[in-house]
Amino acid sequence: MPTIYERKPEYWTRDLADRAFESAVMASLGELGWEFQDNTTSHDRPDLYIFRQARGERVRLALELKEKRQHYRDRWAELAGLPEAELLVVDEVALRKLVAWAPRAHLLFWDDTRPDRPYVLFSIIDLLCMPKVRVQRPITLNSPLLKAKWLLDRRHGQILPDLNAVLATLDRYVAQDMWDDMRRLKAHGDFVGEKVETL
């Protein structure tokens, strides 16, 4: 019988208080003069909307922000079939919030365990197409529930050294790369450990 993990109120308070990553992203957007909307206190919307001009029109990009603050337990890496250093874990419900904003929707991880290249960016198309492991674990909020998690390989995203590189990648994506991804006929991505068979 799995142990039920109880999410205590003080955990939420701590998470909301420690917003260094979110603040750094918004500071970088501000330095570039990019228009954005902060949704980080919302449970129903992606953390940020970013507004850009692309092909002569104003477009909205949705960005969900997640952190890996410490190494995961061995069991997570075992279930994922990955070295722990390549593992990222995200709540499925957080990713569902991006669906309405596809294809201009991204997940950005800040991996504090990898200070050399800490930022990992996934487009919604990457998240749709790449190999992944889904698990769920018991938690207690007001009553016992199951919470779904995705176990991701960080090598399947774009690994970037700093926020300037992240924002340049997003800008290029809405201007051109998104259209390439949408129109490509062959299988999307060259993902570690995956072989796409030709019939």
Element (H, E) at 23: helix 20-32
Domain boundaries, the chain: 5-182
- At residue 17 the predicted structure's pLDDT band, cuts being 50, 70 and 90, is low
Q: Which residue has the tokens 């940020």?
A: 48
The confidence score (pLDDT) of residue 144 equals 84
Name the 3-class secondary structure at 164.
helix
Report the pLDDT averaged over residues 68-78.
95
CATH for the stretch 5-182:
3.40.1350.10
Structure tokens at 157: 């995203």
Q: Give the pLDDT score at 143.
A: 79
Confidence check: pLDDT of 11 > 80:
no
Task: Report the pLDDT value the prediction gives residue 9, as an integer from 0 to 100.
Answer: 53
Could you read off the pLDDT of 131-153 as tens digits, one per residue?
A: 999 999 898 877 788 999 999 99
Query: In terms of DSSP bridges, do strands 87-91 and 57-68 run parallel, antiparallel, or are they unpaired?
Result: unpaired
Look at residue 61 in the predicted model and tell me its pLDDT.
Answer: 97
pLDDT exceeds 50 at position 12: no
pLDDT in tens, 97-138: 999 999 999 999 999 999 888 999 999 999 999 999 999 989
Give the residue-averaged pLDDT of 171-188. 93
Cβ-based neighbours of 161, under 8 Å, separated by 6 or more = 116, 117, 118, 119
Nearest to 108, CA basis, from 170, 163, 150, 66: 66
